[in-house]
A = this chain, B = another copy of it.
Amino acid sequence: MSLLDAITFNDAGLVPAIAQDAATGRVLMMAWMNQEAFEHTLSTGFAHYYSRSRQKQWKKGESSGHVQKVIEMYLDCDGDTLLLKIEQTGPACHTNRESCFYKQHMDGEWTTIEEPMT
């Protein structure tokens, strides 16, 4: 079975991919890949995703320079989620924060726990 055949893409042809900092273990973001994005990730060694709003695949960091070098890649038990351990250049989040998960549940509110990099 090919690498691709083992992946269950959803009805829209997409699979969620979690990006985790390979050095620190921090979860940085979750995005979607289509088949093309997965193949480009494999062939280049840098994370590519599919933008649902722009309806095209893109290399993460292609405009910002905040690329993700793939160190390890995993597929889950039922083949419908990918986990990438990556080496992140600059912030992963488009808000200029290290991680997209910067709002923490505290006392019934989502509290911002991280400020943008300057």
Contacts and interface: CB of A to CB of B under 8 A. Distances in A.
Contacts of A20: 27
Contact of A110 (B6, B30, B109): B6
A94 B108 contact: no
A16 B103 CA distance: 16
Interface of A: 3, 6, 16, 18, 20, 24-27, 29-30, 42, 72-78, 81, 83, 93-95, 97, 100-105, 108-110
A16 B110 CA distance: 17
Contacts of A104: 72-74
Contacts of A27: 18, 20, 27, 83
A87 to B, nearest CB: 16
